[in-house]
Structure 1
């Protein structure tokens, strides 16, 4: 049997689904992944910051060849006691780098750094694999711990990394998993030896396609399923979808007489029978009659910093950095547009965001949003952070009207919405083939997570790149509120 080179990330992929290893080797072109630039950058920033938890350290450069990294590690290990970051080891073709290695006179301690706010099972596999490699090389591993984010920490003016990070000893769990690690490594080598390039393994889909991480090969592994299928039912929990799948109820035809939620059956019925739009004029009129001029159509964009950059904020707190606002002062008045987009280095993003919004919405008109939970929660948080702004934030919340409700309640539904009440489905369903309202036609940013990622990485870009990104952010957010205006207009049209 030929043993393969196995990294800790490859080992963790095996733990999720063994076929991922084969697909990664032979079907790499079939991956479909989101742009995770900001996710990777967050992980990198958290890892870099954590390196200082135990004082001075020596760093093994990760951009060097593996042989060089291992040699450098061996050199650093001789100078105990010290702290080595990215210490690299290989045992019987099993390779790992340790985020933080405390190299004491009587042994070593492994610290695995995660940007998460809790310990996931896969982190235990990751750390256990590292222990396996180091202990088999003859190192006395005294302790293994996970370093992760404390999401209750509130930043003061200066960042305190000792409060930002939690450190949890998992040594006993790691020791219990060592036989499992050894057995799994043998299974992996046998598996890859047995399945060559032209011998694709047979593996059915399952919950492991989404846990602990969404698999980039989902579309490849489901390419032979009928379209649409059970996984296209909007709102149904994944475990329920897989239950139906394993029962052989996969296509919409298979599902149309099943005892499932009425909304799921409605989506299936509209798809199979090409139903006419369903419009509850009474419910839509009730929403329209609740509106008071001036009408403020507003949408927020927010981002989350794993390492809180603003005083008074927590890790991963939603930071509103942008809004778009379309205003209709009175019936028949022309539409005005206002907007706010924070500077990437603004230390008062939240307050400046709120003060701009207060200036732009001075009257007690209807504050019209799409999914009020998000905007109203941000308003509440701002009022709690800045007590002098609480009255205005409460005023906005008291005036909020949610345009999403008729779609969520299925008072307005068409086949093209595909069971969803997301504005990204609703808008093209109401205005098909309207290029002005097509998110796909936008230059760079097409959805909320892309906007968030773009802002998070903005400060690391050149001035020219920043200019392009900021323009794209403004275009995207402006379309969100224009979309709400168009939905309001459609409500008026269909209720005449």
Structure 2
């Protein structure tokens, strides 16, 4: 079989696991620039957001690679940072593995490098132990620094050399180099067969890992006998410096056993909180890494190699690769309705086409206008509606459109009740020339729900708090695990009565903040200051924006400092979520403004509700920037002096702005309720 175009590993993974069109866009620089051209010419619109977080929180923001890199690729007048981004982008586009935009994010690069280096040390250590045990002298070879051609010929030479048993980054190819790969690790067995080991800076197996390994096996098995295929992941249960596990001594969600402030917290706070810092222990690689040679679904495990062989024998894989290669020649595939990706058929050990309408590339429309693609958690259904009805703008939808159905394993609505609510509010907004009626914004049909949500904001003091965190794939500090959010900064705005005003914060509120002073584990000092701030005016209500994140961090602090479980548990139990005005199970969007465009992010909701407070004047204006800066400080990428004089002041301004933005939202929302449903507030205050 002869391929017309190269099929890179990232092409292969995106084609099978995600979307054929994504594979086309990210195939090479020519296609990437063509996609930008087609959007500029109003032929197609693209939704190719790259998500950037490994952890389960704040993972939905990501970035639009076409928008982000359009100017970088085409403009000559670039800043030094943009020049570095352009160089990195072009290098990645040129790599034979293919384009993975998430690697533009520096934290992903660092995590990948750190995990790869740790895995090398682990397997070299294993080889050394084996040599000592068996009185042998097997060697390892690392091709990492070798160019492609040198690595290819050196691989052929050394895998047949009986002195070598362990190889890092060996190179193989197929179809005259149109498909080529480097294996993270290749291990030679006693019978002359080999094990392929793929290392991932991840704590869980994903479909993309399956196709990554399959691509390697498909190429490498042409040259050598593969006995085992293994996926090396990070152990999410491993805590650095801890023998065994860390256990929670109390159920944090047990409402029958709430913490009593007077009896259980007050005495602890009277003591001077002194927490000893400690140097991180050596990493235990045996516990850090988990090796699997099988994939699991519904508690059934199947060896990768058996699954791969079955696909080879029962699925026309060669024809699919040929089709993929031919597809990259022109842009015809972008007009397809379906993604064309596959799912794993565990029953038959095969692949089956996934019936998934493509929401990644659709016929062009004006994104600035209100469209069905603004509706939250509805991208695929919105794409299906666009294909089926040829309507995309909310202003063009009639009653029949809004309540119509499609058939996929039964009758299903295009738009759920939340979407219908947003459509109705947005249509009224458009009819009034983008002038909002507050009566439309507040869901007065859910007065009782709204009353219960707002009631807690009249129990003073109110502590508006926000954390900034960093995370590492390889646990950096003792009593931390892979991708654990390590808090290094907080801001607390304390509201003591109803006369607070975000426009006059110094006189109407109390503010307390903290940021780490050194690269050492920030949690001891963080905890000491956080407890001081959170009880400065006595016990109260604690307010976070998306409380699941802050409560997760508090839970981790309890695991590390069990002696402070009572005050931390008190905060945990009494934390409420400001986001409940927008996102509340079964009662979403108690407050909705069309300019939210379906997003409940504080970076969207706050400026829409009141634009007088902005992040635009800040050098650090996003959480991922703050996280990256501290991580580099903690990893000694820049000096203490630079941290103190350059970065720290900007970091403090950013975190402080977040909690002030929360005050803005609360103040505006209560004014809306006062105007639309004054009886709610009177009842809460006991005035009626």
Q: TM-score range by the shorter chain?
A: 0.7 to 0.9
User: Which segment drifts farther, 277-286 or 82-91?
Assistant: 277-286
Cα deviation, 1:181-239, whole Å, max 9, x if unaligned, reads 8x54554445544663576654335485999xxxxx97765534774333321244x55
SS of the aligned residue for 2:389 comes to coil
2:276 corresponds to 1:158: no
User: 1:17 corresponds to which residue?
Assistant: 19
Counterpart among 285, 291, 301 of residue 167 in structure 1 = 291
The unaligned stretches of length 5 or more in structure 1 are 212-216
In the TM superposition, residue 97 of structure 1 has moved relative to its aligned partner by 0.5
User: 1:487 corresponds to which residue?
Assistant: 665
User: 2:685 corresponds to which residue?
Assistant: none
- Distance between the aligned counterparts of 1:483 and 1:369, measured in 2? 11
SS of the aligned residue for 1:130 comes to helix
Contact 2:14 2:20 in 1 (8 A): yes
Counterpart among 355, 378, 392 of residue 567 in structure 2 = 392
User: 1:256 corresponds to which residue?
Assistant: 402
In the TM superposition, residue 394 of structure 1 has moved relative to its aligned partner by 2.2
Cα gap change, 1:210/1:365 in structure 2, threshold over 3 Å: closer, same or farther? farther
Contact 1:308 1:315 in 2 (8 A): yes
User: Which segment drifts farther, 239-248 or 383-392?
Assistant: 239-248
Cα gap change, 1:179/1:445 in structure 2, threshold over 3 Å: closer, same or farther? farther
- Distance between the aligned counterparts of 2:483 and 2:170, measured in 1? 29
Counterpart among 587, 599, 602 of residue 420 in structure 1 = 599
User: 1:88 corresponds to which residue?
Assistant: 171
- Distance between the aligned counterparts of 2:377 and 2:360, measured in 1? 19
Counterpart among 144, 161, 177 of residue 229 in structure 2 = 144
- Distance between the aligned counterparts of 2:498 and 2:571, measured in 1? 21
In the TM superposition, residue 269 of structure 1 has moved relative to its aligned partner by 1.2
In the TM superposition, residue 307 of structure 1 has moved relative to its aligned partner by 1.9
2:526 corresponds to 1:337: no
Contact 1:263 1:419 in 2 (8 A): no
Counterpart among 606, 614, 633 of residue 438 in structure 1 = 614
Cα gap change, 1:173/1:470 in structure 2, threshold over 3 Å: closer, same or farther? farther
SS of the aligned residue for 1:109 comes to strand
SS of the aligned residue for 2:667 comes to helix
Counterpart among 459, 464, 468 of residue 297 in structure 1 = 464
2:376 corresponds to 1:234: yes
2:219 corresponds to 1:133: yes
User: 1:113 corresponds to which residue?
Assistant: 199
SS of the aligned residue for 2:187 comes to strand
Counterpart among 363, 383, 402 of residue 558 in structure 2 = 383
SS of the aligned residue for 1:461 comes to coil
2:531 corresponds to 1:350: no
User: 1:214 corresponds to which residue?
Assistant: none
User: 2:6 corresponds to which residue?
Assistant: 5
The unaligned stretches of length 5 or more in structure 2 are 37-64, 67-100, 128-138, 242-280, 294-303, 345-357, 405-412, 430-435, 500-506, 676-688
Alignment of 1:400-411 (within 5 A): 400-408=575-583, 409=587, 410-411=589-590
In the TM superposition, residue 392 of structure 1 has moved relative to its aligned partner by 1.3
- Distance between the aligned counterparts of 2:417 and 2:616, measured in 1? 31
Contact 2:491 2:512 in 1 (8 A): yes
- Distance between the aligned counterparts of 1:264 and 1:336, measured in 2? 39
SS of the aligned residue for 2:467 comes to strand
2:125 corresponds to 1:42: no
User: 1:98 corresponds to which residue?
Assistant: 183
SS of the aligned residue for 2:543 comes to strand
- Distance between the aligned counterparts of 1:125 and 1:86, measured in 2? 18
User: 2:90 corresponds to which residue?
Assistant: none
2:485 corresponds to 1:318: yes
- Distance between the aligned counterparts of 2:647 and 2:337, measured in 1? 41
- Distance between the aligned counterparts of 1:294 and 1:491, measured in 2? 18
Give the aligned length: 483
- Distance between the aligned counterparts of 2:552 and 2:638, measured in 1? 34
SS of the aligned residue for 1:412 comes to coil
In the TM superposition, residue 167 of structure 1 has moved relative to its aligned partner by 1.0
- Distance between the aligned counterparts of 2:590 and 2:657, measured in 1? 24
Cα gap change, 1:420/1:210 in structure 2, threshold over 3 Å: closer, same or farther? farther
Cα gap change, 1:58/1:7 in structure 2, threshold over 3 Å: closer, same or farther? farther
Cα gap change, 1:73/1:361 in structure 2, threshold over 3 Å: closer, same or farther? same
Contact 2:337 2:387 in 1 (8 A): no
Cα gap change, 1:174/1:460 in structure 2, threshold over 3 Å: closer, same or farther? farther
- Distance between the aligned counterparts of 1:273 and 1:292, measured in 2? 36
